[in-house]
Amino acid sequence: MTVPEYFLSAALARAIMTLYAHPAPDAVLNLQATRKEFEGDYTAMMFPLLKMSRKSPEQTGAEVGRQLQAQCPDVASYNVVKGFLNIRLTAEYWLQRFADIAATERYGQHRPTGRTIVVEYSSPNTNKPLHLGHVRNNLLGWSVAQLLEANGHRVIKVNLVNDRGIHICKSMLAWQKWGLGATPESSGRKGDHLVGDYYVLFDKEYKRQQAELQAQGKSAEEAARQAPIIGEAQEMLRRWERGDKAVVDLWQTMNAWVYAGFDETYRKLGVRFDRVYYESDTYLSGKKIVEEGLRKGILERHDDGSVWIDLTADGLDQKLLLRSDGTSVYMTQDLGTAQQRYEEYGFDEHIYVVGNEQNYHFQALRLALEKLGYTWAAAIYHLSYGMVELPAGKMKSREGTVVDADDLMDEMIGTARETSQQLGKLDEMPADEQQRLFAMVGMGALKYFILKVDPKKTMLFDPKESIDFNGHTGPFIQYTHARIKSVLRKAAEQQLAACLNGAALNEKEIELIKILCLFPERIREAGEAHSPALIANYTYELAKEFNQYYHETSILHEPDHALKTQRLLLLQQIAGVLKTGMRILGIDVPEKM
C-alpha cells in the first residue's frame, strides 16, 4: 500500500475498533482507489463488517464513515454506494503529501536491504549476431537489475557467453570450407555478422546433404545423423575438448571477432555487465560436480557412458549431464557456474533472464542442485519471458531470417529522425544535438515498447507504432519530460523560484499528487514481480495525467504568484519521477525536444 493508503487504513481500523470493539477484517482495510465515476479518493468494502454491525451495508458504511470523520480530521467527506464506503481526504492532507515528496531525496527509491542478487542476462552464442529476441532479453535483464537496485538491493549483473559447443563448431567448419581466409577487416563485415554468415552456410549445406541421403532411401532421422558435415562438426568439438591447437586457435580467432561485435551492440543498447563468464571456463567445474555426484551415488552412469540425474520422483524425467563421449551439455556448465557465483557473491537470489522455451531446463537445474546438496538452490529464479514475434512470424537464426539487433536499432533511429523532421520541432536545434536526440528517441521508442509488455507475455513488435509521439510510447513520455523542462527554463529566465507555500490545490493537482504518491509502492511491486512493465505503465499514466493538467491549467501566466511558484515545484517533482522511472527502464529523457 502507498503512504496515503497505510494512513487511511490505520485510521479506518481505529474507527472500526471504536464502533465494534473488534479488529477490522483485512478485506475492509484493503483499500482501493475510488472509481472515476464516484466521488472519493479511496474505497472500503463494508460487507465483511455486517456480522459486527448487524445493520445493512449502507447503514454500516454511513456509521463507519461518521466515526472515521470524527476521529480523523484529514477525512473531508464520505459517501456510501451499495455497501462501498468512498472516502475523500482533505486538500490539506494532499498538500502535506506533496511537501513530503518534495523534501525526499531520491524519491521513490528504497533504503539498502543488505540482500545480494545476481542477474544473468544476454547469454549469447558466439555463432551469430544478436537479434530482436536478444534485444528483449538484454533490455529486460538491464531494467530488472536497475529495478532491484532501486529497491535497495546489491545487484551483480552478469553475462554467460556460450562460446563452445557444436553450434560454434558449425560456424568454424563452414569458415574453413568456404571462408577463403575472410576477416572482418577484409570483408567489411562486423565480426559477429561475419561468423553468423557461416552458421547459415553450414545449415544450408547440412540440409542439402540430408535431402541427398533421404533421396537414397534413408529416413529423416538417419539422414540427420549420417550427413557427413555434421560428423565433421562433432569431430571438431571433440578435438576442441582435447585441446587440439589448430582448432583452439581458430576458435579463439573467430570468437574474438564476435566479442568485438557484441561489445559494439551492447554499447548501442546501453547495457553493461559487472562480470562476464565464458562457458569454456565454467563447463569443467560443472564436470567436477558431476563426478562428485557420481561418487555419492546421486547420479547414474548408463551403459553407454553417459551420466544422468533421475528427477522422475519429482514429476520431471531423467536429465542428461554428460554425453556418452564425455562432452558436457548446458546443464553441466550451469551447475558449475551457479556454484562459482555462490562462492563469489553469496547471493540471496540468482535470477536467470531466459526465454520461456527453457522453463523445463531451469526447473531441472534447481532440482538437480537441491539433490546434489546445495542448500542455496532455492535462491535460483528463472525470469521466464515470452518470445518477440513479427507480423511475418517467428525468427530462425539458422535460416538467416532473424531481425538483426544492429539493423533494428539503426532503423529505429532513422524512424525517429524522419518523424521528428516531419513534426518540424527541431529546425533550430544544432545538427549534432539533433543526432543525439534522434538516437535518444529511437532507442527510447524501442526500449519502452518492449518493456511496457509484461515479461511473461509473447509480444508482437511494431516499429512504427512504437515511435508515435502521441501514443502509449517512450517518445510520448520523453516529450512530456522535455515540455516540463522547457517551462522550468522559462521560469528560471523570469527568476521564478519553485517553492511550496500552501496555495490551494485544484482537483487535477491533487490527482497528480496521488499518482506521485504511488511511485515508491510501484517500484516495490515491480521489484517483487520482476516486471519493469509496472514502471513503464506508471510513467505513462503520470505523463498522460500531466498533459491533461498542462492543457487545462495556467502555469507561467498564472497571476497569483504563490500559486505559480507552487505549480513550478509540482512540475519539478513530476519531471524527477519521470526521469527516475525511465532510467529504471534504461531510457534517457531529453531536456529539449
Torsions phi, psi of 308, nearest 5?
-135, 160
Strands 32-33 and 42-45: antiparallel
Strands 42-45 and 84-89: antiparallel
Q: Which of 519, 496, 506, 503 is nearest to 574 (CA)?
A: 519
- b/e sequence 546-575, b meaning 16+ C-beta within 10 Å: beebbeeeebeebeeeebbbbbbbbbbbbb
- Reported as a pLDDT band with limits 50, 70 and 90, residue 392 is low
Q: Is the pLDDT of residue 569 over 50?
A: yes
Q: In Å, how far are 144, 367, 440 from 532, measured between CA atoms?
A: 6, 28, 19
Residue 209 and residue 330 in one domain: yes
Residue 249 and residue 160 in one domain: yes
Rounded Cα–Cα distance for residues 70 and 198 (Å): 78
C-alpha cell of residue 430: 544544432
- b/e sequence 258-276, b meaning 16+ C-beta within 10 Å: bbebbeebbeebebebeee
Q: Looking at residue 399, what is its pLDDT?
A: 47
Last residue of a domain, one of 355, 389, 423: 389
413 belongs to a structural domain = yes
Q: Looking at residue 126, what is its pLDDT?
A: 95
Residue for grid cell 516529450: 479
Residue 221 and residue 310 in one domain: yes
Residue 126 and residue 188 in one domain: yes
Kind and range of the H or E run holding 230: helix 228-242
Q: Looking at residue 281, what is its pLDDT?
A: 86
Q: Which of 575, 582, 584 is nearest to 475 (CA)?
A: 582
Q: Which of 204, 224, 188, 163 is nearest to 396 (CA)?
A: 204
Partners of residue 116 on adjacent β-strands: 154
Residue 446 and residue 570 in one domain: yes
Q: Looking at residue 396, what is its pLDDT?
A: 46
Q: Which of 178, 366, 143 is nearest to 272 (CA)?
A: 143
User: What 3-state class would DSSP assign to 265?
Assistant: helix
Residue for grid cell 503520470: 542
Residue for grid cell 503529501: 97
Q: Looking at residue 466, what is its pLDDT?
A: 86
Residue 346 and residue 469 in one domain: no
Kind and range of the H or E run holding 579: helix 561-584
Kind and range of the H or E run holding 491: helix 474-493
Express the helix, strand and coil content of the chain in percent, nearest 5 each: 60, 10, 30
Q: Where residue 53 sits, what CATH number does that domain have?
A: 3.30.1360.70
Identify which has the larger pLDDT, 218 or 399. Answer: 218
Q: Is the pLDDT of residue 395 over 50?
A: no
> Using an 8 Å Cβ cutoff, are 440 and 553 in contact?
no
Q: Is the pLDDT of residue 398 over 50?
A: no
Residue 385 and residue 439 in one domain: no
| HEC profile of 137-197 | HHHHHHHHHHHHHHCCCEEEEEEEEECCCHHHHHHHHHHHHHCCCCCHHHHCCCHHHHHHH
Q: Where residue 467 sits, what CATH number does that domain have?
A: 1.10.730.10
C-alpha cell of residue 164: 563452445
Rounded Cα–Cα distance for residues 236 and 127 (Å): 15
Rounded Cα–Cα distance for residues 249 and 240 (Å): 10
C-alpha cell of residue 272: 553493461
C-alpha cell of residue 98: 506533496
Least confident span in 40-49, 321-330, 368-377: 321-330
- Reported as a pLDDT band with limits 50, 70 and 90, residue 401 is low
Contacts of 350 (CB under 8 A, 6+ apart): 117, 118, 120, 338, 341, 342, 379, 380, 381
Count of Cβ atoms closer than 10 Å to residue 511 Cβ: 16
| Interval 226-255 mean pLDDT | 95
543 belongs to a structural domain = yes
Burial label, 319 (beta-carbon count in 10 A; 0-12, 13-18, 19+)? buried
- For residue range 258-286, list pLDDT tens digits in order: 999 999 999 999 999 999 999 888 888 89
Identify which has the larger pLDDT, 101 or 5. Answer: 101
Q: Is the pLDDT of residue 488 over 60?
A: yes
374 belongs to a structural domain = yes
Q: Looking at residue 468, what is its pLDDT?
A: 84
111 belongs to a structural domain = no
| Interval 460-476 mean pLDDT | 87
Count of Cβ atoms closer than 10 Å to residue 587 Cβ: 26
User: 158: domain range?
Assistant: 121-389
- For residue range 335-371, list pLDDT tens digits in order: 999 999 999 999 999 999 999 999 999 999 999 999 9
Torsions phi, psi of 25, nearest 5?
-65, 145
DSSP letter for 357, please: G
Task: List helix spans (H) across 54-117.
Answer: 57-71, 91-103
Residue 416 and residue 381 in one domain: no
> Among residues of the chain, what percentage have pLDDT more than 90?
85
Residue 377 and residue 412 in one domain: no
106 belongs to a structural domain = no
| Interval 469-491 mean pLDDT | 95
Overall number of domains in the chain: 3
Last residue of a domain, one of 66, 89, 112: 89
pTM: predicted TM-score of the whole model, two decimal places: 0.91
Q: Looking at residue 400, what is its pLDDT?
A: 46
103 belongs to a structural domain = no
Rounded Cα–Cα distance for residues 367 and 310 (Å): 10
Residue 166 and residue 41 in one domain: no
Q: Give the chain's radius of gyration (CA, Å).
A: 30
95 belongs to a structural domain = no
Rounded Cα–Cα distance for residues 367 and 354 (Å): 17
Residue for grid cell 476521529: 71
Q: How many CA atoms lie within 13 A of 82 on its CB side?
A: 1
210 belongs to a structural domain = yes
Rounded Cα–Cα distance for residues 396 and 401 (Å): 5
Last residue of a domain, one of 357, 389, 421: 389
Strands 318-322 and 300-301: unpaired
C-alpha cell of residue 305: 557412458
Strands 84-89 and 75-81: antiparallel
DSSP letter for 112, please: P
Q: Looking at residue 394, what is its pLDDT?
A: 47
Residue 127 and residue 199 in one domain: yes
Residue 145 and residue 37 in one domain: no
Identify which has the larger pLDDT, 238 or 326. Answer: 238
Torsions phi, psi of 382, nearest 5?
-95, 110
Q: Looking at residue 397, what is its pLDDT?
A: 42
